[in-house]
Amino acid sequence: MSGISLNYEGCLTGSAGGKGLDSGQMDILAQKVTPLIHKVNRARNDGLTPYRDMPYNQLRYDRAVAWAEKIRGGYDYVIFIGSGNWSRGINMLTESLSSSKALDGNDLECKCPRMLVLEGYFHDQISAVINRLGEKITRAFFVIAADSRKNEYNESDLKCAFEQLRQVPDLLAVTDSESSLPAKLAARGGIETLFVPAGFQGELPLLSEAGLLCAGAAGIDTEKMLSGARAMDSQVSREDFYKNPAAVNAALNWYYADQGMKVFQAYTDKEHLGSLSAWYSLTCCGALQCFPGINAEELKTYIYSKPETDEAEKNVIRINLDKIDAYSLGEFVYFTEVTALIFERLAAGGEEDDDEQYKKWLSG
């Protein structure tokens, strides 16, 4: 049973300052969104969103777990070097996971390596970390991640970073294509590489080998995470609009964005949910990047660690998590990525009958 529920009473007539939706308008939204749910499901079946299959890929899971166990068993530090959403997403998730692991019973006594995420492949930044580690560098595990989109980084910076990191004892590369520059640089240096599929808008999926490696290294039960993701997958695949939480969430936010009201400003009632809220905002706002015509100013989304029973506020969507543990985090990550996928499709007008446009949209 899902540990996530939506409360969107604050977006309905009588609660939203005269701009709320009545039952008839909700039904119209349902008619608009239902075909998009079908298309998102079709994309998944056609293999165009492979990152959604991670919860079912035992081979990739075993590989990620093996790396995580190696890191937890032999290192005091993990330094993750990346750019754009590939670094920000991992940083936000691992912070949330690390701060919530104390709520996960058996993890109370676990000793996990300290994790540092470097944004960008800058020579001075990497040198500073290596120099600061000094002799402790033998207890540090480095991960350098870069995707195949060259507009995400400066090639010379990336080449320099690989050259610098040749001096560290333990290094793993992460990229999305065997033909990418990062993959070629890794092969040239004899560096083992994890290949992960690009996610929504090309970002590094958090339910990937790299994401699970970081989560496992942080002491999180990755098997529970994927169990939660599988549970949410069954819900966000439903073609009944009212029974699909990602579809409802995306539709309401699209409607208010289209009315000139704000979307995806996440707030929380628990400090340790701050990073998770920031990742939610980052992922979902990415759906708006190509649609600057949508003006946003008022609607808020709150993330709570327990169901809220207070009177609904105006222009508010509440995402309630029964508790914070590995299972609910897996649910939440999967829920967010599918929400963003449906929302982006709505913002684009919902038209992608042309196969090439359809594939281009899905690949970001």
Query: Hey, which residues does 174 pair with through a beta bridge?
Result: 145, 194
Q: Where are the domains of the chain?
A: 4-49+224-363, 51-222
Given a cut of 50, whether residue 107 has pLDDT beyond it is: no
Q: Which two tokens stand for residue 301?
A: 């989304």
287 compared with 41, residue with greater pLDDT: 41
The one-character DSSP state at 12 is: B
Residue 301 parent element (H or E): strand 300-304
135-193 pLDDT tens trace: 999 999 999 988 887 666 788 999 999 999 998 999 999 988 888 899 999 999 999 99
Q: pLDDT band for 298, please (50, 70, 90 cuts).
A: low
The 3-state DSSP class for residue 22 equals: coil
- Homologous superfamily, domain 4-49+224-363: Glucose-6-phosphate isomerase like protein; domain 1 (3.40.50.10490)
Supply the DSSP symbol for 190.
T
120's tokens: 């960008």
Handedness of CA 179, 180, 181, 183 (dihedral sign): negative
pLDDT band, residue 361 (cuts 50/70/90): very low
Task: Tell me: pLDDT of 358 over 50.
Answer: no
Residue pair 323/297 in contact (Cβ under 8 Å)? The answer is no
pLDDT at 267 over 80: no
Q: Which fold has domain 51-222?
A: Rossmann fold (3.40.50)
Residues 316-354 have pLDDT tens digits of: 888 888 877 888 888 988 998 898 888 888 877 755 544
**Tens digits of residue pLDDT in 118-130:** 888 999 999 999 9
pLDDT over threshold 60, residue 240: yes
For residue 218, give the nearest of 354, 37, 80 by alpha carbon: 80
Evaluate if residue 18 carries a pLDDT over 80.
no
* CATH fold match for the domains 4-49+224-363 and 51-222: yes
Is pLDDT above 50 for 364?
no
- Phi–psi pair at 77, nearest 5 degrees: -140, 145
Mean pLDDT of the chain: 79
Rounded-to-integer distance, Cα 344 and Cα 218, Å: 32
Q: So what's the pLDDT on residue 17? A: 53
| pLDDT classification of 215: cutoffs 50, 70, 90 | confident
| φ, ψ for residue 262, nearest 5 deg | -75, 150
pTM of the full predicted structure? Answer: 0.83
Residue 122: both structure tokens together = 């800058």
Q: How far apart, in whole angstroms, are the C-alpha atoms of residue 319 and residue 91? A: 22
Angle between helices 155-164 and 123-133 (to 10 degrees): 20
